Structures are given as structure tokens and as C-alpha cells.
């Protein structure tokens, strides 16, 4: 028996089966593309509630292995160098843990070879020393959902960094200024350090050159609450103030939604709560102002792809790469011209920090200016003796003659 075009019926059946299988595979592939983030999350879920999760051992910040970077403790106190306390972003996706062991080799390598050269090195101006704690970072998975387990994992990470900051203050020369820098997850934790440790303590606060919260949303309501003593930096040379931005391109709708509607940050009570409709801080890292003026690419001092460079190496700056403008609490940027500066096509890229720094040279020049400002302020303040205490009345002491 044959069908149309004189083909045997069996051939038509085979053709129909092949077509059906092809359509099925195409639908599966399309579904996988559409649902890839959900599928990715499934593989990252530790599969055990945080309350019963066996947490990795805590780092001991008196020991060198708890730090990705730390100056020689014996020399730091004598040298009197200014410093930067740097909190790295998320480098662990998830799967086995809610919180990565602080000494996992994979994450340690990414921090040392990619994160520090790109995001910590710009602050190493003059003789600034770098302190970069390792910590039991919350996994990328915890930033992709709003589960209570995820919040608890992030609180554990915060607690580690708080202990690291305590050790940092013990080792830093008590008369020297410092930067606080947090990137990604490190930026969210940096807000907690600012709110709990720096903002309430005038002695610490006056030594703050500036705080940089990079690629993490900073709700403006914190400025009227726990961060009320730390103003926003509105001038490129201002010190003792706060800088923050999250860079997006207008067409990155998934990233914009993730930041503005599905992110979390501390609230006025210090709890990690949803961003939702909270207005966000944006300081333009080209102009260093908090207004909505557009900074054209010709003002851009330079990006850098500094992976695998040492912290003392000077990367080749890529200038005039992007324009930038604060809009609605986000830093809207143009697509960088250099492909090395563009976001890679990784899964969950809307939650990651790019492996290159778009504003490397802009940050470096700005850090230099703010450090010089705070050093001048501290030197001027040191010229004045502290106020005298109220006079104390002393009663006349009896005189006892000594027998000759």
C-alpha cells in the first residue's frame, strides 16, 4: 500500500514519527531555555532546611587563613597606614551548602584572581593596606528566592563579617582613616557594618574616608534611620560619606526587576527585608554626584579587566567606554564598547558581579581625593587640644611639721 507521491505508508509513518520527535525535542529545548533559571535553582537548592543544616566551621579572624588579604600584623600597627576593609561579592553558586565554607579552594581562587584585582585594587592608593576577610558567604541561590532559609544564611554571613570588622579595628592604627568597600553580597553586608558599627560610633565614623556600596541596592530610607549620621557623597572630594550604585543597561529588564522587586537589604531595624518599592541611592561614579545628570563616555576615566593581575600591577585602562546616568535609583549605562567589559552569558547573570570593573580608574582617582580630604581633616582636628575638664576644687591639705 502506498500513499501520496507513491511513497510507501511505512515511509510516511517513519517521517511522521521523526517529525513528532523533532517537535517534542524543540519544545523541550525551548522550555529549558525559558525555565533555565528555575532549573538552575533546583540544582542549587541544598535540599535541607537551614535550621537543621550542618554549618561549616567559622573562620578565626586572628589567623591569616581567614583573610583573602591582610597586611603583616606585626608591621601594621607600627606603620600607621590607612586601610580598606573590603567585603567580596558572591562567588559560590550553591548546591551542597547554604553558606560556603570560607576556605573552599574554588571560591578562594576566584576572589584572589578576579575580585580583588578588579574591585579592591582601585582603593590601594598611596600606602593603603588591604584587609579582605573570607567569610561563610551565602550562596547565589539565597539571592534568587525569598525563602526564610535564605535570609538566615545571609544573616550568618553578616555575623562573620561583623567579627572580621572587630578584628580589623583591633589591628588598624587607631589614628588612621579607612575605606569600607562592599561589592554585591559584600555591599549588602557593608550596609549592616555601617549601620551597626560605624554610624553609631563617632570615634570610628570620623576616620571613615568613605563607604562604597557597589552593585548592591542601598534603600534611601536608611539615611533617615540607622545611617542618619553618614551623609551621601555629593561632591567628588567629600569625605566621611556614602557612595552607592547598581549599574544596569535599560534593556536588561530581568536584572532591573531582580534588583528593584526581588532583592533584599537591611531595614531600619537591621533586619533583612524586601526592597519592593523602597527608593534606592545612586551616586554616579563618573560625575560623583547624586543627581540625574548624564555623564557622556568622554568623561569616563577608564574601565579595567584586571583578572589575574597582582594587586600592585597597573591594568591597562580602557577609557571612554560607557556613559552613565542615575535614573530611578539605578545607574543606567551604555553598552561598553570593549567586549571584555560586557556581561558574560552565564546562568543567573542578573545576580552576579561582572568579572571586570567598568569604573576602575574613576574609582581610583576618587579614592585618592577622598583619602586626601579625610587626612587633611584629621590633621586639622589634631591641632586642637581636647577641651579641658571642669575645674575641680581641692581642699587645703593640712601641713604636718616634721620633727627636726
Range of the domain at 23: 4-34
User: 19-40, pLDDT tens digit by residue?
Assistant: 666 656 545 444 444 445 667 7
Q: Per-residue pLDDT averaged across 264-273, rounded?
A: 96
Cell of 314: 597597573
Q: Are strands 178-183 and 129-133 parallel, antiparallel or unpaired?
A: unpaired
User: 269 with 326, same domain?
Assistant: yes
User: 103-123, pLDDT tens digit by residue?
Assistant: 999 999 999 999 999 999 999
pLDDT at 186: 98
User: 169 with 299, same domain?
Assistant: yes
Asked if 23 contacts 15 with a C-beta cutoff of 8 angstroms, the reply is no
In a domain, 387, yes or no: no
Secondary structure element (H or E) that encloses residue 248, with its range: strand 247-248
- Indicate the range of 40-49, 128-137, 229-238, 357-366 predicted with least confidence: 40-49
Q: What is the C-alpha separation between 364 and 124, in angstroms, rounded?
A: 8
User: 13 with 110, same domain?
Assistant: no
pLDDT at 27: 53
In a domain, 388, yes or no: no
Q: Are strands 330-333 and 324-327 parallel, antiparallel or unpaired?
A: antiparallel
User: 91 with 30, same domain?
Assistant: no
In a domain, 403, yes or no: no
pTM over 0.85: yes
What are the residues facing 232 on neighbouring strands? 242
User: 274 with 316, same domain?
Assistant: yes
Cell of 62: 586572628
For the cut 60, the answer to whether the pLDDT of residue 283 exceeds it is yes
User: 206 with 154, same domain?
Assistant: yes
Q: Which carries the bigger pLDDT value, residue 127 or residue 36?
A: 127
User: 178 with 302, same domain?
Assistant: yes
User: 30 with 41, same domain?
Assistant: no
Buried b / exposed e along 339-349 (16+ C-beta atoms within 10 A): eebebeeebbe
- Among candidate residues 77, 363, 105, the one with its CA nearest the CA of residue 214: 363
pLDDT at 80: 79
User: 277 with 305, same domain?
Assistant: yes
User: 139-179, pLDDT tens digit by residue?
Assistant: 999 999 989 999 999 999 999 999 999 999 999 999 999 99
Secondary structure element (H or E) that encloses residue 87, with its range: strand 83-87
User: 72 with 142, same domain?
Assistant: yes
In a domain, 270, yes or no: yes
The angle at the Cα of 239, spanning 233 to 245, to the nearest 5 degrees, equals 35
In a domain, 240, yes or no: yes
User: 10 with 115, same domain?
Assistant: no
For the cut 50, the answer to whether the pLDDT of residue 376 exceeds it is yes
User: 8 with 92, same domain?
Assistant: no
Question: Considering all CA atoms of the chain, what is the largest pairwise distance in Å, rounded to the nearest integer?
Answer: 147
Buried b / exposed e along 225-237 (16+ C-beta atoms within 10 A): ebbeebebbeeee
What is the tally of structural domains in the chain? Answer: 2
pLDDT at 386: 62
pLDDT at 350: 86
User: 51-101, pLDDT tens digit by residue?
Assistant: 999 999 999 999 999 999 999 865 544 557 999 999 999 999 999 999 999
Amino acid at each position: 500500500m502506498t500513499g501520496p507521491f507513491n511513497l510507501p505508508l511505512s515511509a510516511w509513518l517513519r517521517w511522521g514519527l521523526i517529525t513528532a520527535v523533532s517537535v517534542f525535542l524543540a519544545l523541550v529545548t525551548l522550555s529549558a531555555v525559558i525555565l533555565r533559571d528555575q532549573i538552575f535553582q533546583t540544582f542549587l537548592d541544598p535540599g535541607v532546611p537551614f535550621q537543621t543544616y550542618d554549618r561549616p566551621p567559622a573562620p578565626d579572624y586572628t589567623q591569616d587563613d581567614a583573610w583573602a588579604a591582610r597586611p603583616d600584623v606585626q608591621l601594621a600597627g607600627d606603620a600607621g597606614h590607612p586601610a580598606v576593609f573590603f567585603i567580596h561579592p558572591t562567588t559560590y553558586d550553591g548546591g551542597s551548602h547554604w553558606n560556603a565554607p570560607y576556605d573552599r579552594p574554588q571560591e578562594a581562587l576566584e576572589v584572589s584572581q578576579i575580585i580583588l584585582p578588579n574591585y579592591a585594587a582601585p582603593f590601594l592608593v598611596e600606602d593603603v593596606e588591604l584587609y579582605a576577610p573570607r567569610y561563610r558567604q551565602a550562596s547565589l541561590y539565597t539571592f534568587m528566592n525569598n525563602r526564610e532559609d535564605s535570609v538566615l544564611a545571609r544573616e550568618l554571613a553578616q555575623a562573620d563579617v561583623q567579627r572580621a570588622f572587630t578584628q580589623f579595628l583591633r589591628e588598624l592604627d587607631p589614628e588612621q582613616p579607612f575605606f569600607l568597600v562592599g561589592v554585591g553580597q559584600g555591599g549588602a553586608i557593608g550596609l549592616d557594618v555601617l549601620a551597626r558599627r560605624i554610624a553609631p560610633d563617632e570615634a570610628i565614623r570620623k576616620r571613615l574616608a568613605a563607604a562604597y556600596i557597589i552593585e548592591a541596592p542601598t534603600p534611601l530610607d536608611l539615611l533617615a534611620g540607622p545611617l542618619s549620621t553618614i551623609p551621601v557623597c555629593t561632591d567628588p572630594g567629600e569625605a566621611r560619606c556614602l557612595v552607592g550604585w547598581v549599574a544596569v543597561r535599560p534593556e536588561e529588564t530581568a536584572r532591573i526587576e531582580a534588583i528593584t522587586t526581588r532583592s533584599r537589604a537591611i531595614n531600619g531595624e537591621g533586619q533583612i527585608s524586601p526592597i519592593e518599592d523602597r527608593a534606592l541611592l545612586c551616586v554616579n561614579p563618573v560625575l560623583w554626584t547624586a543627581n540625574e545628570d548624564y555623564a557622556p563616555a568622554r568623561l569616563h576615566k577608564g574601565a579595567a579587566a584586571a583578572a589575574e593581575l597582582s594587586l600592585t600591577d597597573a591594568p591597562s585602562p580602557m577609557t571612554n567606554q560607557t556613559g552613565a546616568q542615575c535614573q530611578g535609583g539605578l545607574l543606567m549605562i551604555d553598552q561598553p564598547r570593549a567586549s571584555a567589559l560586557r556581561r558574560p552569558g552565564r546562568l543567573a547573570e542578573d545576580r552576579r558581579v561582572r568579572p571586570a570593573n567598568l569604573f576602575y580608574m574613576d574609582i581610583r582617582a576618587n579614592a585618592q581625593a577622598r583619602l586626601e580630604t579625610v587626612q587633611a581633616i584629621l590633621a586639622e582636628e589634631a591641632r586642637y587640644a581636647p577641651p579641658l575638664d571642669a575645674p575641680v576644687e581641692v581642699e587645703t591639705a593640712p601641713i604636718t611639721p616634721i620633727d627636726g
